[in-house]
Structure 1
Amino acid sequence: MFLILPPAPKLATLVHAYWFIEDLPGKYAGRLTRTSPIPLAVLSVNMGRPNAAEDGGLVPSVSFLGLQSRSRAWRSWSDTYFAMVMLTIPGLVRLFPNTGTGTADILLDLAALTGDASAQTLKNSVGLEQEPRRIAALLDHWLISRMSSTRLISEGKQIAMAHSILKGGGNVETAAETTQVSRRQLHRLFLRHLGMGPKSLADLERLHSSLKSVQSDSGEPIHGFSDQAHQIRSWQRRLGVTPGAYAREARTPLADHFGAQSGPSGIAYYL
């Protein structure tokens, strides 16, 4: 089962969507699954047996993946069933402020960020459910409770505005001027809350848009890059493959469902 459900309206700007991946019979067990770095953070809750990470160890039952700068790989088992909360940049800053340096390029047990009690509450409620819409409602409840108990930081609006400019193709200088901070101050804000600087996040946005275009056969994969060589270097550095080679590869079921089938508005996460 591959399924996408929306969050509660109150969370619309913080959560892109809830993704559900189920393979209880183990049809894809043992297969290597690769994921792309995306301009989103991911909170995952396992209702089944957790997947194995790149080093072979099982991922935490409730895990947090901050912004990533490179591709990752996973292996599933039989009894795989988990839900993913796809957190937007404003969502990451609002729900998990001041965690950028401790979450970027790292897969964490959620308890390391929220404490054991909060993580256990999420695990005990969601982990015992099976029906996706009921799980989505429980995720809504936990996230809204998290939002209510987490202090709203003053620089959240500045980060959201700067990110919007970068996502739209604007440069770091424009983002800094618009948010009325220096480039150095903006860089520090991004590192503190996102774990990467504005320039790196802009590159991640370009890569994501390019991969999405290739997966969905729409748009212009080179858009935002200075030239094709710039695009190829970004792909090789972050994905380990060139755009041409990837375009010739057969799509995986997950890439087909969450990439091509969801069209230009989807998220290019699975490779």
Structure 2
Amino acid sequence: MKSMHGVPEQFESLNDAAQFLHPRERAGIELYRAHIVRHAFEPHTHEAFGLGAIESGVERFRYAGSDHLAPAGSLVLMNPEVLHTGRAETQGGWRYRMIYIDRTVLEEATGQAGIWFPDAVRSDPARAQRVTAMLDALWCAREALAFDSVLGRLLSELCEDARAAKVPSEGRSMRFTKVIDYLHAHLAERPTLQDLAAVAGLSPFHFLRRFRTQYHVTPQQMLMALRLHDAKRRLAAGEPAAQVAVASGLADQAHLTRAFQRRYGVTPANYQRQVRS
């Protein structure tokens, strides 16, 4: 594995570094570890749960419309498809490890359906230390049985804070689910506010207000997050970056590189090398 330090193509600051790994032992999982000092992550989303621990320093991030501080010894527990940011709150930045795990994998591994985490940050130094150690063990695992054994223990620790998912009202849920589905289906296009409002069955600015209340971001911010998530998926599958940019609705490969790095902390080329090595 490459060192976490000295990866100048990833960030403007050489003090910032991040690594991704797609373990061969289990599909539907992405491992991540990073030390971030100066980089500020723009709003982005994951279709998977983002679960992990802060090893040192303090992270500030906006999630579900609220600002959060995650100091060393904290667990970070993010639900799928919630846009969030991230930046250092302390001069030396923050060091952390995460696992991004698909809902189906999480539910299969835990035997629980409808899992949801009510708190994005939970202070628990002892658990955070155990979670960090297990995430490190997953990164180093070389056998499928060893990987799955650690994964089971890790999820038992993390899911102590899980709850049954809240079910929104049917009308509200369906109205905005249709809009998100429309954005997914038209990533390479340039939808207007009128287009999205028509899908939701609302007047344009009424739709805009309701959308921001629901997701705490604008439709354009959501569209860009979905485009970059799609680009991430395509890069992981081995598609050429120039092709990915076009398919995901970015202006060109340079636009993809800038936008991807701002949201994920690595260039598309470096991300592709890491997850396909």
TM-score normalised per structure 1: 0.50
Aligned with 1:199 (options 197, 201, 220): 220
Of 45, 48, 52, the match for 1:45: 52
Corresponding residue for 1:135?
154
* Cα separation, 1, equivalents of 2:39 and 2:178: 34
Residue equivalent to 2:206 = 185
Query: What is the SS of the residue equivalent to 2:246?
Result: coil
**2:4 match:** none
User: For 1:83-130, what per-residue CA distance to the aligned partner results, in whole angstroms no more than 9, with x for missing partners?
Assistant: 44678xxxxxx9589xxxxxxxxxxx735xxxxxxx46x987786564
| Contact 1:190-1:198 within 8 A present in 2 as well | yes
Deviations 1:120-177 (A, max 9, x none): 6x9877865642123235555743x241xx3534412222221111111162433322
Does residue 1:222 correspond to 2:266, yes or no? no
Q: Which amino acid aligns with 2:246?
A: I
Q: CA distance change for structure 1 residues 85 and 31 in 2, over 3 Å: closer, same or farther?
A: same
> Which protein has the bigger strand share?
2
Partner of 1:110: 120
Identity, % of aligned positions: 10
The question of whether the paired residues in 1 share the 8 Å contact of 2:44 and 2:83 is answered with: yes
Letter in 2 for 1:110: A
Partners of 2:73 and 2:128 within 8 A in 1: no
8 Å Cα contact 1:207/1:235 also seen in 2: no
The 1:153/1:68 distance shift into structure 2, 3 A limit, reads same
Local SS of the residue matching 1:49: strand
Aligned residues: 205
**Contact kept in structure 1, 2:37 and 2:94, CA below 8 Å:** yes
Given the superposition, is the C-alpha separation of residues 146 and 179 from structure 1 closer, same or farther in structure 2, using an over 3 Å criterion?
Answer: same
Q: CA deviation at 1:218?
A: 0.8
Alignment partner of 1:156 is 2:173: yes
SS across alignment from 2:44: coil
Q: Which TM-score applies when normalising by structure 2? A: 0.50
Q: What SS is found at the alignment partner of 1:40?
A: coil
Could you tell me which amino acid in structure 1 is paired with residue 154 of structure 2?
I
Name the CA distance, whole Å, in 1 between partners of 2:52 and 2:250.
39
RMSD: 5.1
